[in-house]
């Protein structure tokens, strides 16, 4: 074999060529990263106003002995087809579909699907969303149920869930369909969640390399958890958090909130008024709820809420990544329509000013926007929704 001999005087040329190759490799890599970030940002910009449509997340309607696999019924699912049309007609651009895929997969290896009918219902929801020209978020919801089945929330099982979900939806249009890795991860360390998220991403990317992922952080997709975290290595990600502040108002009367005494709070004015004194329920004393009562006057101020959301926007700008608020809203059991509308208007207008896409929780459940006893969005809620566009820069 002939030996390569560098001609005299050509060493500098070879070195230059090597340097140029390294430069262009680095430049190309940078371009690819920028392109991925650009794709996620462009898709986030198109999400705009969104709405959650619940039902396929309601695992508690099932039988525990069947690991809740029977919770969703085809006849009930079919009733929701028209709701996608209603959501689109109401001006929403994106539908987030919370789905408890976990109930339809075996609890133990080899983690096969064991309820094909459930998957067919999920397919229908995705199809109906796309048929109404909505962006569709496939959201893995309640993978761990209520925590009483430890194996359900095992990291290996959740990774296998995504292996099968990605395989099922890999042929959907990546410009319209988003994969949300896990709703409200909790009871784990920040590092533990980052490790799990990266394992899921690795599996998904081998199957669906072009779909944009939606990823929140530990502590229930909390805003502060996001602020305390750094973006992951994958660049085609939209980061999410949920915003239910002030929690005392948005969850008054909620029996599931996990905060002692909040279910006994009712008719709370928004924002706080000097002439209304909040009585602290006995169950709330010494609990987080008592602190929420003390701070409600400040927590319900519009400028405080805007400051919260602006901090999230600052994190987005600093890290050059898009963000999305996957859930916000208020429970209608005890809050008045007028108070709920004032709250919604403050949040929607802040989203508009900060250009943050969002999804209200939820279309037709306890957090709905409807006039009482109807499926018609109330006038003041309609005005609140419209404040999103009216508040956008340049409007």
- Residue 172 CB partners (closer than 8 Å, separation 6+): 126, 130, 136, 211
**Radius of gyration for the alpha carbons in the chain, expressed in angstroms and rounded:** 24
Residue 351 tokens, joined: 């989203």
CA separation for the pair 375, 391 (Å, rounded): 27
Q: How confident is the model at residue 31 (pLDDT cuts 50, 70, 90)?
A: very low
Q: Are 363 and 53 in contact (CB under 8 A)?
A: yes
The pLDDT, as a whole number, for residue 4 is 29
Residue 285 tokens, joined: 């004393």
Question: Residues 245-270: what's their mean pLDDT?
Answer: 94
Helices (H), the chain: 11-47, 74-78, 81-89, 116-131, 155-169, 190-207, 218-221, 223-227, 247-250, 288-299, 302-319, 337-354, 379-390
At CA 65, angle to CA 61 and CA 69, rounded to 5? 50
pLDDT at 30 over 80: no
The pLDDT, as a whole number, for residue 276 is 87
9-18 pLDDT per residue, tens: 443 443 444 4
Supply the angle between the helices 337-354 and 302-319 in degrees, to the nearest 10.
30
Q: Which residues pair with 50 in a beta bridge?
A: 94, 359
pLDDT at 1 over 90: no
168-226 pLDDT per residue, tens: 999 999 999 999 999 999 999 999 999 999 999 999 999 999 999 999 999 999 999 99
pLDDT at 21 over 70: no
Instruction: Give the chain's mean pLDDT.
Output: 92
Q: Quick one: which of 178, 172, 212 has its CA closest to 359?
A: 178
Q: Are 57 and 100 in contact (CB under 8 A)?
A: yes
The pLDDT, as a whole number, for residue 125 is 98
Name the pTM for this structure.
Answer: 0.91
Question: Residues 112-121: what's their mean pLDDT?
Answer: 97
Domain boundaries, the chain: 49-390
pLDDT at 28 over 90: no
Q: Quick one: which of 230, 165, 155, 227 has its CA closest to 197?
A: 155
Q: How confident is the model at residue 35 (pLDDT cuts 50, 70, 90)?
A: low
DSSP class of 50: E
Q: Quick one: which of 173, 181, 244, 260 has its CA closest to 216?
A: 181
Residue 59 tokens, joined: 């695992």
DSSP string for residues in 276-292:
-PPP--GGGTTSHHHHH
Per the listing, tokens 């750094």 go with: 230
Of 3.40.50.880, 3.40.50.1380, 3.20.20.80, 2.30.30.30, the CATH number of 49-390 is 3.20.20.80
* Stretch (H or E) spanning 51: strand 49-52
């Amino acid at each position: 074999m002939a030996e390569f001999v560098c001609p005299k005087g050509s060493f500098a040329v070879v070195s230059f060529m090597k340097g140029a190759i390294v430069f262009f490799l680095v430049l190309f890599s940078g371009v690819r990263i920028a392109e991925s970030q650009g794709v996620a940002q462009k898709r986030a910009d198109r999400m705009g106003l969104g709405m959650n449509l619940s039902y396929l997340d309601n695992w508690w309607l099932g039988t525990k002995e069947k690991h809740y696999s029977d919770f969703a019924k085809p006849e009930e699912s079919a009733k929701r087809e028209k709701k996608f049309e209603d959501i689109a007609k109401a001006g929403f651009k994106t539908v987030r579909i919370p789905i408890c895929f976990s109930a339809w997969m075996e609890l133990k290896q080899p983690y096969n699907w064991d309820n094909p009918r459930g998957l067919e219902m999920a397919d229908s929801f995705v199809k109906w969303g796309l048929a109404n020209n909505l962006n569709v978020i496939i959201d893995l919801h309640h993978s761990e149920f209520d925590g009483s089945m430890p194996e359900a929330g095992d990291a290996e099982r959740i990774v296998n869930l995504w292996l099968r979900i990605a395989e099922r939806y890999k042929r959907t249009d990546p410009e319209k369909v988003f994969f949300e890795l896990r709703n409200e991860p909790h009871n784990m360390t920040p590092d533990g969640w980052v490790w799990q998220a990266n394992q899921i991403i690795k599996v998904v990317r081998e199957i669906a390399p072009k779909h944009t992922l939606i990823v929140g952080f530990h502590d229930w997709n909390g805003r502060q958890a996001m602020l305390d975290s750094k973006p992951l290595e994958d660049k085609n990600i939209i980061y999410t958090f949920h915003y239910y502040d002030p929690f005392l108002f948005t969850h008054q009367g909620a029996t599931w909130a996990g905060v002692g005494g909040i279910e006994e709070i009712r008719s709370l004015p928004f924002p706080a008024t000097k002439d209304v004194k909040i009585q602290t329920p006995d169950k709330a004393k010494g609990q987080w709820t008592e602190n929420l009562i003390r701070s409600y006057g400040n927590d319900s101020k519009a400028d405080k809420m805007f400051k919260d959301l602006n901090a999230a926007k600052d994190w987005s700008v600093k890290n050059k990544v898009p963000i999305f608020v996957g859930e916000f809203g208020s429970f209608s059991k005890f809050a008045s329509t007028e108070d709920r509308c004032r709250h919604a208007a403050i949040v929607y207008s802040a989203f508009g000013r900060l250009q943050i896409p969002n999804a209200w929780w939820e279309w037709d459940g306890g957090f709905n926007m409807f006039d009482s006893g109807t499926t018609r969005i109330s006038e003041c809620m309609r005005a609140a929704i419209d404040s999103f566009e009216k508040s956008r820069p340049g409007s």
